[in-house]
Amino acid sequence: MSELLHAVPSSQVQLTPCTSRVAEVLAAGRAVQASEALVSSLFDSLRLKNGVYKTTSSHRLDDVNTWVSNYLPAASPLNVLDVAISSGTSTLEWVDSLVESGFDCWMTGMDLTIDALLVSFGDRLHAVLDRTRWPLMFEIDGQFVPNPPRKKHLLKYFIPLTRIKWALRLWSGKYGKHGTSEILRVLGMPTITRDINLVIPRLMGHPRVTVREGDLLSGSGLEGAFQVIRAANILNRKYFDNAAIIRMVRNLAHQLTQDGLLVVCRTDLDEQRVNRGTIFRLGEAGRFLPVSQLNGGSEVEELILDIQF
């Protein structure tokens, strides 16, 4: 085992910090920003442990933002929560649109997985791991590969995928729980571990945004903190059954102020990319009341209206 995995002096290892395209996309403060296509390709390949992909695209919720702005309360500051934010692109667009419209707002962006590790085995093989050390994706020769890999990736990258999974087992067995700042050599490959955030850098540095991890299936500790919550492309039956959706809605209700608004919407996956959603108000009777619909309303509208708290 000592021949397969050991630490070596950094002076003996040549490893460029940004040989990974993941690092290129997520490195804050870089002079040259990654292209939108590259950003989308990365987040389309990040598959969370619950099976949800961190798919992203710019401006897909613009009409939702305009629609919701007509119903926002006059609170100042307006405390807003955006859940399941994926890369944070839509969250950034929302907070910028609110500020441009004159709202004094503070935005919290929440997602199941924000903090992650990038483990690089030489210049060719990289893995993105969540805090439990579950591989969210692999990068092989600059190409993003989800976990589990799709059939086309298995056919093309069978040998390097086998190698990186073996390397991860060796790395995790000794350093996975606590990590290390040392440069290692695993299977003969110089290996380095870096902390990364799985949201776009501009969101992390925004003066009106706080980014945090949170699981919609459990409480967040932010009870009664928000006048508005948006749940976009998460409360739908593609991902969860009715019982899970009800549990998440109840948790979100606990985070709303009295008369607070819950915005639930979903983007159709066809070429038109139509957004359908419903705005709900948390009434005094402990139930959500419908306020407005966009393009026919949310597919889970009736389910939410039937929930009692």
Q: What is the pLDDT of residue 169?
A: 93
Three-state secondary structure call for residue 265? strand
Do 24 and 73 have their domain in common? no
DSSP H or E stretch at residue 278: strand 275-282
Do 229 and 99 have their domain in common? yes
Please report whether residue 203 resides in a domain.
no
Distances (CA, A) of 301 to 20, 238, 253, 294, 305: 43, 15, 15, 12, 6
Residue 14 pLDDT > 50: no
The per-residue pLDDT of the chain, averaged, comes to 88
Question: Can you give the length of the chain in residues?
Answer: 309
What digits encode the pLDDT tens for the residues 162-203? 999 999 999 988 776 555 566 788 999 999 999 999 998 889
Confidence of residue 33 (pLDDT cuts 50, 70, 90): low
What digits encode the pLDDT tens for the residues 200-217? 888 988 999 999 999 999
For residues 77 and 226, give the distance between their C-alpha atoms in angstroms, rounded to a whole number.
Answer: 10
Distances (CA, A) of 57 to 84, 88, 114: 14, 10, 18
CATH number at residue 255: 3.40.50.150
Do 145 and 284 have their domain in common? no
Do 96 and 121 have their domain in common? no
Q: What is the pLDDT of residue 235?
A: 94
Residues of the domain holding 154: 5-52+116-197
Domain stops at, among 197, 224, 250 = 197
Do 126 and 23 have their domain in common? yes
Q: What is the pLDDT of residue 177?
A: 57
Do 149 and 272 have their domain in common? no
Confidence of residue 16 (pLDDT cuts 50, 70, 90): very low
Cβ atoms within 10 Å of 100's Cβ, excluding its own: 8
Please report whether residue 210 resides in a domain.
no
Do 27 and 122 have their domain in common? yes
Please report whether residue 202 resides in a domain.
no
Q: What is the pLDDT of residue 179?
A: 56
Do 159 and 219 have their domain in common? no
Number of domains in the chain: 2
What digits encode the pLDDT tens for the residues 45-87? 999 887 888 887 889 999 999 999 999 998 889 999 999 999 9
